[in-house]
Amino acid sequence: MTLALVPGSFDPVTNGHLDIIQRAVELFDEVRVVVARNSSKTPLFTVEERLEMLREVCAPLPRVTVDSFEGLLVNYALKCGATVIVKGLRFVSDFEYELQMALMNRRLNNAIETVFLPTGAPYSDLSSSIVKEIARLGGSVEGLVPEIVQQRLREKYSIHST
């Protein structure tokens, strides 16, 4: 049984993330989407809000669970018996950073392998940051994020602007 982790900040989850998660399900026995609690980025959504959105959008997917982790991802992987880390790649800039992370993770624990999946064609320019920027400026994020995330973004920004 291979358990694969799909880590990220998911602030918020986008259709690009979902594409990677769905494709990981085809490749591995079980998939766990994990939200990093100690990311250096300043988030828009709390970890609990991000987990809630992820749980809702991943509910229809078989063999997918959602969790969060603190500290090193390889330590979390060891604890739960995961042997694969799945990362999506969009640009060359993603690759440089992700390769460095993958090499470091293997140095920390060589039993854990990182697998890169190229972004699905319609999502190559999609990031959580772009989605937040569009929503903040009042644009439509339809087709970029699941319905529930559209709703949450509307709530966040209408609260913020009052």
Contact residues for ligand ADP, defined by CB under 6 A: 8-10, 14, 16-17, 20, 87-90, 94, 98, 119, 123, 126-129
Q: How far is the CB of 16 from ligand ADP (least distance, A)?
A: 2
- Judged by beta carbon, residue 142 or residue 162, the one nearer ligand ADP is 142
Catalytic residue check, 41: yes
CA 148, chain centre distance (Å): 16
What are the beta bridge partners of residue 87?
A: 116
Torsion sign over Cα 33, 137, 120, 93: negative
Question: Are 33 and 64 in contact, with CB atoms under 8 Å apart?
Answer: yes
Catalytic residue check, 23: no
- Judged by beta carbon, residue 1 or residue 143, the one nearer ligand ADP is 143
Q: How far is the CB of 89 from ligand ADP (least distance, A)?
A: 6
Q: How far is the CB of 97 from ligand ADP (least distance, A)?
A: 8
Q: How far is the CB of 157 from ligand ADP (least distance, A)?
A: 18
Which member of 17, 32, 132, 152 is catalytic?
17
What is the Cα–Cα distance from 111 to 84, expressed in whole angstroms?
9
What is the Cα–Cα distance from 140 to 155, expressed in whole angstroms?
14
- Judged by beta carbon, residue 51 or residue 162, the one nearer ligand ADP is 51
Catalytic residue check, 128: yes
Catalytic residue check, 90: yes
Which residues are catalytically annotated?
A: 17, 41, 90, 128
